[in-house]
Every structure is written in structure tokens, then in C-alpha cells.
Amino acid sequence: MTIYDIAKEAGVSASSVSRVINNKTGVNPEVRKKVQKLLKKYHYTPDAAARGLVSQSSRIIGILIADIRNIHHTDGAYYIERKLAALNYCCVILNTGDDDESRAQAISILEQRRVEGAVLIGSSFQTESVAQAIKRHLNNVPIVMINAFLDAPNIYGVLSDELHGVEACVNLLAEKGRKSLAFVRDCHTPSCELKVEGFRRGIRLLGQTEPWIYDSHGTTAADGKRATLEVLKDHPDVDGIIYSVDLIATGGIRALYDLGIAIPDQVSVIGVDNSIYGEICIPTLTSLDNKTFDSSIAACRILIDCLENRTTTRQMILPSAIVVRESTP
Amino acid sequence: MTIYDIAKEAGVSASSVSRVINNKTGVNPEVRKKVQKLLKKYHYTPDAAARGLVSQSSRIIGILIADIRNIHHTDGAYYIERKLAALNYCCVILNTGDDDESRAQAISILEQRRVEGAVLIGSSFQTESVAQAIKRHLNNVPIVMINAFLDAPNIYGVLSDELHGVEACVNLLAEKGRKSLAFVRDCHTPSCELKVEGFRRGIRLLGQTEPWIYDSHGTTAADGKRATLEVLKDHPDVDGIIYSVDLIATGGIRALYDLGIAIPDQVSVIGVDNSIYGEICIPTLTSLDNKTFDSSIAACRILIDCLENRTTTRQMILPSAIVVRESTP
DNA sequence: TTGTAGGCGTTATCAC
DNA sequence: GTGATAACGCCTACAA
């Protein structure tokens, strides 16, 4: 069903139908009524692609996420999709995985679809290869990165100050009298590096001779459990463990529970993300809120500002905040 | 950058450029080389909308989800997006929320985008209003519903046998000597009604005088906790509680923990979804695996079969299975 | 107020 | 092997 079909049945030209569809003035009321009736009768819906072709605007926004199953990123995607849908944009969500090639390919796909903007969620997009792909394929539409930043005229970034956040976690534990702290990291993204650096700084100021840093080699609870057992084996005197994400922290809690080590009496535990995982485990988990949701709101605002030709903030850093729960004294 | 720009610079016609782009035969090797060089030089990417217009195929698939933040649905969306992306389809994911109007609107948006198929994830789409909207707007493309079904020639469904699954949960508890069981439901979707019915049947066969059924009025852990306290107040002798989803079950575990009631010694707990939530709580949660992931695989296969004009299954029901963990004896 | 014509970027069908 | 030309569905001057 095209506007020509409608036009023919109404006995008018396609332009008149178009005018009715787009609520333009200068149409005989009778014609308008007749056309509207036919539009309704056939449940006519304009073809977005054809419209986009002539108007040179796709009203498509790309959302790139390493893995949509990661709830830490999904919250943001949800907010952004809802907000943009209300403005008549359609969101194409692509899971890119963690290799540079598929990230670049995803960016190329966004170009094919002629997206009017994109949001890249997660620090894993902060790589030279992504920067190149954006320069090649998406250099004239606004790109907003959440928890990452790349330097290009059309790239905007909303970051969370996880470095000082983790440093504050160390300080919190120190104030409570903890003396031997370990950090378990789950990956090697720029964001995770910042967390590690925050831990190092905190430890340095604290005077602990050496920062105990472990790698869980994965982001599941089981990975966190395994890494925790390693920590305990090497350092039976550890009295505080900070994990780079909540999920591996829950594995840590389980490991301690199995060994009969009391939380927080013997060992304090802190996670990062302030996710639902931290709320449902027992004891509930103290966590560094890195403001994903606020970041998404800010990112969305920046994107909309760009789409509507308003000047906006190029880069912003949101302070993180510790949410204290039962796993710390 | 269009094929005309490339053509002009190469000193050939647009048709030749098009032929090169699409790897068609019948192009002078020299011309091909020259054009390819230019395509690379300008990082040319074809406009998907223009292509779609002439080929009458958008290569867009719509995915409708009530709320992408619900991990239970995200797993499926991930699998489907990855699988279709590999086949060069682009997925538009829409969060519809839980009201009929916005579900219908989402379906209309899919029509505007001329999607070639759609996947509706979640039993909440099984409503008359969605059926109407599909009939109006999407009646000539395959629609696959996960954990739901509507009767129309272009609608396919993959369902999970949650009714017998919950009944089996009741039986499991009965075998372990549990005598006073309660069920906490989180919502009133068709899927949840089936779970309740499964519970009723189980109870009937068991001989418990009356099925204790409570409504958590929400799907958060806090809602589950509140409902559990209600159950315990009304029935202090309860010795087994089944929850319609894992997340509210974790709230139940917390409520019991706070009251010093031992799980599973005094009260057994079972959830539904076999989600990560059940793996990280203490004790770990026995859960009815309603095969979301398998459903998504099946749904995706059905959709691809349709897209590639193969005959396929109209409706299928997957058996659910209990995953026993620490919360049941 | 209305209709005609041209064009958006691409592909397919013809002649040449 | 190559290049006009006509679609695809829609919108927007411009002319009537």
C-alpha cells in the first residue's frame, strides 16, 4: 500500500495524500477527510526508508554494547531507547563482543544504516581501532561514549570517576581498621585499569607494603570465587577485599562463607557497580556506585542536544559514591 | 558519497560501480580495480535504505521486549541479535512496557520500518490487542513469540511447559516430606497464570486442603520479602514456598534469614527462571528452568526458516526442568 | 487548492 | 563490457 494506491482510490494525486499524511495546510477539507478515511481503512503506514531517502534523515540511532546480557549496561540502553523512542528515533542495538574487528564492523553497519547518532556503552570501546573506525565511517554524526572517551570532534564522553571511587573504598576500609587489603580484577578494560590504579593509590597512602592484586580471568561468580580462594591461600591474613565488579564479589562472599570466614567481622567485602547482585546476596554488598544510570541520562541528553543542534558538554565526569551495606563494618 | 560520485571520479557509469560493489561479473578487470580503489579511498558504504527501497527488503528484524532490563529476556535477545546479525539482518529492539497501547504502537513502528520479521519476547504479548495490531500492521511477515502464542497464520510460538514444571516442583517438595506449601506470584501474565495453575494442581493431588497463593505486587526482591512475611504471618507452619520468579525468591530467602528460619531445614524454597540470581544467593536456589535460552534458539531457528522460505514448526512446547540446589533438601 | 515533475541512492533491465 | 533508463515510495518545489 503506497500513497499512489490511496491517491488512485481517492481520485486525487499522490501529493495531496502526502500533504494529508504530513498534516500540511492547503488541502480541501473534503479531500482531507476522504483521504484520511482511506488511510485508516487500509491501515496505511509510510515507509520509513523511503521517507528517510528523500528527507536525508534515517531517524535511526545506533547503540553499541559489548554484551547486552550485562545488566550493568542494559540499564543505560533501556533508558536511552525509551527516551529516543519518545522522540521518534528508532534504536538499533548491536552486541559487538570484545574484539576490535567486530567492533569496527558494527560501526560500519551503523554507517550503512545512516544512523544520525550513536551511543557506545562501556569502557571497552575506548581503543584506537574504534577511533579509526569512527573517523572512517561515522565522522559526521554525534557519538556519545559512556564510561569511555576518544578524542575526535564528534565524540562526546560521560565518565565515572572510578579511580577516586576505589581509592575512597580503600580509605573506608582503612578507617574501619582494616590493614591488609586485596583487589580482584575481572578484566583489562580502561575502566578496570582505573579501578586498579585507584586501589594502588589508596594502598600507597595507607602504607601497606604491597598492593595485592589478583585477576579473576572472567566475570562470573565462579571466577570471583576461584580468585578469592587464591587470595586467601597467599594471604591468610587478608581482612578486606575489593572486587572490580559486584558479580565476582558475590563469588567472593560465597568462598568466604564456605570457609566459615565471617563477613564483615573477619573480612570486609566491597564490589563495584551497585547492582542488584549486591542487594540480594547475604550479607548485602557494599558497593561503589559508578553512576551508570546517571551516565546514561547525561549521555542521552548530550546526544539529544547534538541532534537538535544545541551546544552541549564535550566531556563530563561524574563522581562515584560508596553505598554501604552489610559487607563492611 | 554516492555511487555517482565514485563513478564520476572513475570516469565510468554508476552501473559499473554498482556492479563492482555487488561483485557482479561482466566488468573489465581494469575498471573493477580502479573502482575498488576509489571505494576504499573514500570508505564508501552503500545506503541500506536506498538498497532496501529497490530490493524491497529492509533486512531489519524487530525485537519486542517489555523491558530489556529483565535479564530473563535479555539472554534471548542477545542470542537472536547475534544470530541474525551474522545473516546480515539488523535488529531494532523496542521496549514496550506493559500497556497495550504502547505494545500496539511498537508494532506500528515495526511496520514503518518494514521489518521482515519480528520476535516478541515474553508472555505479556499474549493479548487480544497485540493480535489485532499484528493483524493490522504486520500480517505478512513472520512473527515468533517466545513463551506466548496467538493464533494467526503468520504467528509462530515457542512455549515452555511451566504448568507441569511448577506441578513437578510441588511434587518434589512433597516427596521430601513437605506438607504445607505456599506460592508467591509476581504478576498476572498468562505465563504466571500457568504457574499458579500448576501449583493448584499439585496441591490438589497432594491433598493440602487449600492452596496458599500470595501476590507480591511487584517483581523486586523487596516485593518478594514483603510477600514472604505475609505468608509466614498467616501460616507459621509453612514448610515450602515456591516463587513465580527467582528474583522475588531471593527476597524470600532474605526474609527467612532475618527471622532465623533455616533453609532448607525448616522451609524449602524454589524459584522459577534458573537465573543468575539463584546461583549467587546463599543458600543457592533450587529453580525451575523454563528454558529461556533453548526457547530463543528455537525461536530464532523458526524465524530464519521463515525468512528463507523453509517450512517450519508453527508451535512448540519445551519441557521445563527443575535444577536442584541448596534451598531444597 | 491541486497536480506534475524531479530527485533521494540504489539496482535491474535493456540496448548498444 | 558498458551505460542509459526506469523503477522503489516518498516529499517538495513549482506550475496551473
pLDDT tens readout for residues A125-157: 999 999 999 999 999 999 999 999 999 999 999
Nearest-by-CA chain A residue for B224: A280
What confidence tier does B310 reach under pLDDT thresholds 50, 70, 90? very high
Section B56-71 average pLDDT:
97
Q: What is the pLDDT of residues A9-36, one digit of tens each?
A: 999 999 999 999 999 999 999 999 999 9
Task: Evaluate the CA torsion angle B187, B191, B197, B199 in order and state its sign.
Answer: negative
**How does residue B68 score in pLDDT terms, banded at 50, 70 and 90?**
very high
Q: Which fold has domain A162-290?
A: Rossmann fold (3.40.50)
Cis peptide before B264 (omega within 30 of 0): yes
Nucleotides of C under 7 A from a protein CB: 1-13
Contacts of B81 in chain A (CB under 8 A): 68, 93-95
Query: What is the predicted pLDDT for the residue at A90?
Result: 98
Mean pLDDT, each 10-residue run in order, chain A (329 residues): 96 97 95 97 97 97 97 95 98 96 98 98 97 97 98 98 98 96 98 98 92 97 98 98 98 98 98 98 98 97 97 97 97
pLDDT at A296: 98
Domains B58-159+292-319 and B162-290 share a fold: yes
Whole-angstrom CA distances from A155 to A92, A123, A126, B23 are 19, 14, 11, 34
- Single pTM value for the model: 0.96
Provide the angle, in degrees to the nearest 10, between the axes of the packed helices B71-86 and B292-307: 30
Closest alpha carbon to B267 in B279, B280, B249: B249
Check CB contact under 8 Å for B69 and A74. yes
Mean of the per-residue pLDDT values of chain B? 97
Distance CA A302, CA A173 (A): 36
The strand pairing partners of B155, in sequence order, are: B143
pLDDT for B207 = 86
**Quick one: which of A232, A324, A215 has its CA closest to A279?**
A324
Q: B18 pLDDT exceeds 90? A: yes
- What's residue B33's pLDDT? 97
Query: What does the pLDDT read at residue B317?
Result: 98
Model pLDDT, residue B66: 96
Taking CB atoms and an 8 Å limit, are A113 and B74 in contact across chains? no
CATH code for residues A3-46: 1.10.260.40
Asked if A179 and A135 count as a contact pair (C-beta separation under 8 A), the reply is: no
List the beta strands (DSSP E) in chain A: 60-65, 90-95, 117-121, 143-146, 155-161, 181-185, 212-215, 240-243, 268-272, 286-289, 315-319, 321-323
Fold classified for B58-159+292-319: Rossmann fold (3.40.50)
> Cα–Cα distance between B322 and B274 in angstroms, integer?
8
Q: Shortest CB distance from B93 goes to which of A67, A81, A136?
A: A81
Say if the Cβ atoms of B137 and A45 lie within 8 Å.
yes
Q: Bridge partners of B60?
A: B90
Grid coordinates representing A243 are 572486587
pLDDT reported for residue B194: 98
Domain ranges, ordered by start, for chain A: 3-46, 58-159+292-319, 162-290
Query: Which pLDDT does position B217 carry in this prediction?
Result: 98
pLDDT at site A207: 86
N-term to C-term CA, chain B: 67
Instruction: For residue B219, give the amino acid letter.
Output: T
pLDDT tens for B214-243 read 999 999 999 999 999 999 999 999 999 999
- Whole-angstrom distance, CA of residue B67 vs CA of residue B195: 21
Residue nearest D2 (alpha carbon to C1'): B16
B229 Rama class: left (phi>0) / alpha (psi -120 to 50) / beta: alpha
Taking only the tens place, the pLDDT of each residue in B114-160 is 999 999 999 999 999 999 999 999 999 999 999 999 999 999 999 99
